[in-house]
Structure 1
Amino acid sequence: MVSKIETFNLNSVYTDYTYTIRIFIPEYIEKADQLPIYYILDGSSYFPFASQIINLQSSNAPKTKVSPAIVVSIEHGEDRRDRRFYDFTAPAKTYVYPERFQNRDVRKNGGAKKFTEFLMKELKPIVHQKFPSHGAEIIFGHSLGGYYALWLLLMNAAYFDRYIAFSPSIWWNQYELEKLALPFIKAKDFSPSPLFIAVGGKEGFMVEDSDKMYQLLQPSFQNNIAFYKAEDENHASVVPTAMSRAIRFISSF
């Protein structure tokens, strides 16, 4: 069997939206057991890159320690910019927007709980039916997707086994993620899921935001967390620069 990609549309009753789903199935899947599954947010941008990195590194697994994996792409349609803003931001009683949002129409937001219902109750069951003997499940997000990955971890770490957040929009709604992190790390049943945070060195205030979140979580996560500042990289270029490093870290568990 050679590697292949399956594509289908999935209409969600929870979000009232139709997503395009692409699934990368690696070569020799019949001979592999407990394959990890990567769920890629903003898949139209990052799925080709993520699937090829995993495929390339897993071809020399004894050296890279990266095993073959299934990669699931979650993609929006032509309204991607508006819809991702809604899907990836948490509901709140009030929203406080940064000054740079002044004199701008703020996109509709607050759909993260509905999007999570879609992931857990609609998408995952389909993936599990296709691959019943799967291994760890990992979610990757960048920017608002990175914010969503962190929010999901802080709301319920059991949703996924491992988390990757690139350039997370920690600034959203007056840094609500920092407020959520405090009770999370103080919880009696705290069990850290492996987390990789990356940010580009040229991303301004987001560098400090990401480092602060790492410093806040690290004492509790200990060796289960990694932070990477990609020097000379910006908000877009950090993804191709840091993706390989993130996958190697996540694969070490």
Structure 2
Amino acid sequence: MPWPHEVHIALPPSYEHSDSSYPVLWVTDASLTFPLIIGLMNWLHTVQEVAELMVIGVGAPAESSPAEFGTRRTHDFYPMPKRGSAGPGGARVEAQSNAVTTGGGGAEAFLSFLVDELRPRLATELRCGDDHGLVGFSGGGHFVGFALLSRPAAFDRYVASSPALSGCEDLLFNLEADYAMTHDDLPAKVFLGAGEAEITDPYLAAVDIVGSMTRMSQLLRLRNYPSLELTTRLYPRQTHGSALSYTLNEGLRTLYPHTAPV
């Protein structure tokens, strides 16, 4: 990896009183989204709407400047340089020129870091189960899509909020077509969510948040993969920022339902 990543770990409530292993939820953009997810998880588990999870957040340190944060996440989340205006949630045009090529190209290395390096290292210290989920927002949603389509066995469950899926010259749609040519099933649980207001925001409409999410959802449904469980939501009146809490709320309840008797 080109720089160190900060890792946050939240153990489930029963961890200290049990010998059990737990499903693991991997959270990108940890310095932004980790507190939100942990607070939501604590409440939803208290009211018995989600299962207990171990949550591991990875991302740039909280003290990173906005410019550094944007540069790092764009590099980590996109498998190749993007073209067009600066992407939402941190992607930016390179400051050295007026070019419209933004950073990228590190997604494959970041995915390998999570799955091949960090996961086995933490498994020696923590009781991690074999069930792994991945959460991403905006550019992080692109990374969720990249993980699903380039290395689908790496995770079991995927949550993408306002995913920017059409970046990198539609690379994810090419990956989807290539996967469909050689596979007749996609065993995964996937939750996609975005805000209705992202359609009317000119900037977000230009980067195709809702359009790319809808297009990918349609393609995956038309494949009729028997083991794919796909849920797609468009939340009325919600923006690029506010849709995240809605997606996490319903996504966690859908993919990790509480199974014990209420």
Q: Say whether the fold is shared (TM-score over 0.5).
A: yes
Q: Are the aligned partners of 1:23 and 1:73 in contact in 2 as well (CA < 8 Å)?
A: yes
Deviations 1:5-51 (A, max 9, x none): xxxxxxxxxx1311111101122213363421111100111101111
| 151-160 or 177-186: bigger deviation | 177-186
TM alignment of 1:1-253, pairs within 5 A: 15-29=1-15, 30-31=17-18, 33-61=20-48, 64=49, 66-77=50-61, 78=64, 79-91=68-80, 97-98=83-84, 103-104=98-99, 106-188=101-183, 190-204=185-199, 205=205, 206-219=209-222, 220-221=224-225, 224-252=229-257
Q: Are the aligned partners of 1:86 and 1:110 in contact in 2 as well (CA < 8 Å)?
A: yes
- Give the gaps of 5 or more residues in structure 2: 87-92, 200-204
- Letter aligned with residue 79 of structure 2: A
Distance in 1 separating the partners of 2:145 and 2:3: 23
Distance 1:52 1:99, change over 3 A: closer
| 217-226 or 141-150: bigger deviation | 217-226
Distance in 2 separating the partners of 1:196 and 1:250: 8
- Under a length normalisation based on structure 1, what TM-score does the superposition of the two structures give? 0.84
SS in 2 for 1:245: helix
Distance in 1 separating the partners of 2:247 and 2:150: 26
SS in 2 for 1:48: helix
Task: Please report how far the alpha carbon of residue 185 of structure 1 lies from its aligned counterpart in structure 2 after TM superposition.
Answer: 2.7
- Letter aligned with residue 168 of structure 1: P
Distance in 1 separating the partners of 2:240 and 2:41: 22
Distance 1:203 1:32, change over 3 A: farther
Distance 1:96 1:17, change over 3 A: closer
Q: Over aligned residue pairs, what C-alpha RMSD do you find? A: 2.2
Identity over the aligned pairs, expressed in percent? 23
Q: Are the aligned partners of 2:83 and 2:102 in contact in 1 as well (CA < 8 Å)?
A: no
- Give the gaps of 5 or more residues in structure 1: 1-14
- Under a length normalisation based on structure 2, what TM-score does the superposition of the two structures give? 0.81
Task: Please report how far the alpha carbon of residue 59 of structure 1 lies from its aligned counterpart in structure 2 after TM superposition.
Answer: 1.9
